[in-house]
Amino acid sequence: MNAFGQEFPVSERSREVTARVAEPLKNAFTTNGLVWGSPVFLRIFKDTKRLETWVKKEEQFVLFKSYPICHFSGQPGPKTKEGDLQAPEGFYEVKPSQMNPNSDYHLSFNLGYPNVFDLAQNYTGSYLMVHGKCVSVGCYAMTDERIEEIYTLIQSAFEHGQASVAVHAFPFEMTAQNLSQYHEHPYAEFWKNLSEGYTLFEKTALPPRVNVKDKKYVFE
């Protein structure tokens, strides 16, 4: 538990990792004018296989580092049912309790699938993670080295009081040009809905508040 009353699981493995990885990350923060423990935000893009880590600097988030995704399973489109091997797309939230320092895949955190939107569609599935190693049956596998840094960034933010970390997962960058290429795709309307949240962040550099109404994402 930190000074803000948040509880998050730790293990001998996670303690060793965060102790080892924190110092070089702190140095990188200093170089980039960032304060260690500042709130973080993640974006995932399937087409370019990358996970972006953003850190709050004063009143906005700035891109800290992009990590190659080693592997994910499935095609562009959301996860809709247990066993479909799809990696999720949408707007997720990671709370301290979703951190797994004892993962079979080195370290991991649960994306929180199914979220309210997924449940409204009657989608099914569980234990959709971002984790180490390079194998996936619906998760985002980062390799052990990369998950160590990402995990440490998130844990530091939790330790300094961030209540939850937003993770936005997209099939591609949700630009008008990219969306036009998929206007006849079965998930075109879903992706158009995702693009609303994507565009708000691009304009403000602040993750929007995400809710669900009439089976669609709505944003503030």
In tens digits, the chain (220 residues) has pLDDT values of: 554 566 789 999 999 999 999 999 999 999 999 999 999 999 999 999 999 999 999 999 999 999 999 999 999 999 999 999 999 999 999 999 999 999 999 999 999 999 999 999 999 999 999 999 999 989 999 999 999 999 999 999 999 999 999 999 999 999 999 999 999 999 999 999 999 999 999 999 999 999 999 999 999 8
Of 139, 160, 183, 185, the active-site residue reads: 139
* Distance, CA of 82 to CA of 196 (rounded, Å): 27
122-126, long-range: CB < 8 A, 24+ apart? 123/78, 123/79, 123/80, 123/81, 124/80, 124/81, 124/82, 125/79, 125/81, 125/82, 125/83, 125/84, 125/88, 126/82
Q: Which of 70, 106, 131, 168 is catalytic?
A: 131
Q: Is-catalytic flag, 131?
A: yes
Q: Which residues contact 97 (CB under 8 A, 6 or more apart)?
A: 7, 8, 9
- Which of 34, 73, 39, 33 has its CA nearest to residue 158? 39
| C-alpha to C-alpha distances, 154 to 78, 159, 164, nearest whole angstrom | 24, 9, 9
What is the maximum alpha-carbon separation in the chain? 51
Residues 212, 201, 142, 55, CA torsion sign: negative
CA distance 197 to 185: 20
For the question of residue 139 being annotated catalytic, the response is: yes
> Global pTM?
0.96
Choosing among 3.40.50.300, 3.40.50.1110, 2.40.440.10, 3.40.1190.20, the CATH entry for 12-219 is 2.40.440.10
